[in-house]
Amino acid sequence: MTITEGPDAPAEDNDLGGDGENGRMCIVTRESGSPDELIRFVAAPDGTVVPDLKRQLPGRGCWVKIDRALVDKAVAKKLFSRALKADVTAPADLGAIVDRLLVAQLAGMMHMARKAGRFISGSSKVDGAVRNGSAIAVFHAIAAAADGVRKIDQARKAWHLGMETEMEIPSFRVFTEVEMEELMGQNAFIHAAALAGQAGEGVVKRANLLERYRNGGQSRATGGAGRRKQ
């Protein structure tokens, strides 16, 4: 379902959620958090609960930590009706809906970064970007051959050993073959890299969100959260 986004004023100012700042409290764990640690949900005009990843949809909302298991738990325990104080219906597959939206959001940011020259693909280009320090994260298709991944991992290790930092260039494997075909089209990749710059950083941020959502609130990207800034 597509809902027109509301005005620029922060929608969360009207949210419900208990004692958290501006109501930003997870309705499952009852723990407060920043907007970047939570997913906002609102009720559509038909009473269906929908995710509001951009935190701009009008009306009161509620929050769940970025964790697929917690979204599924909120649906199973009917916590959305209680939190929104309304007779709302949460789709049984709401957790999967959020996952698809996060995947689409990441793919969209990759397209934007590519147009800005901050996202490249191809094993040789990625290897070169890692070794010269311009790559801030690498991406592999889930179906990527182990040998190709290993060669880029060697470049990541070589860069890490040559720098005075404990942080490494993170490596993500997030897209299935079907997702790649549907979302990336002619820009589908086996190996890719996000480059330093605002657009590249946007890709990494959204990749971390997806990883955290799928992995119990933690990112399992190889190499940690990111590399030392130049």
Domain edges within the chain:
11-92, 96-214
What's domain 96-214's superfamily in CATH? Ribosomal protein L30/S12 (3.30.1330.30)
Give residues with Cβ within 8 angstroms of 143, minimum separation 6: 176, 177, 190
- The lowest-confidence range among 116-120, 153-157, 167-171, 221-225 is 221-225
Residue 181 or 83, more confident: 83
Q: Nearest CA to 96 among 230, 227, 214?
A: 214
Q: What was the pLDDT predicted at 162?
A: 67
* pLDDT score recorded for residue 54: 93
Tokens, residue 111: 């397209």
Beta-carbon contacts of residue 150 (< 8 Å; ≥ 6 apart): none
pLDDT digits (tens, 9 = 90+) for 52-73: 999 999 988 999 999 999 999 9
Residues 61-75, buried b or exposed e (16+ Cβ, 10 A)?
bbbbbbbbebbbbbb
Any idea of the CA torsion for 26, 31, 33, 37, to the nearest 10 degrees? -60
CA-nearest of 105, 114, 128 to 208 is 105
- The mean pLDDT of 183-206, rounded to a whole number, is 95
pLDDT at position 23 is 54
Q: Which residue has the higher pLDDT, 112 or 178?
A: 112
Domain 11-92 has CATH 3.90.1150.10: no
Confidence check: pLDDT of 200 > 80: yes
pLDDT tops 90 at residue 168: no
**Residue 102 contacts residue 167 (beta carbons within 8 Å):** no
Q: Quote the pLDDT of residue 181.
A: 87
Copy the structure tokens of residue 190: 């086996």
Q: pTM (2 decimals)?
A: 0.84
Structure tokens at 8: 């620029």
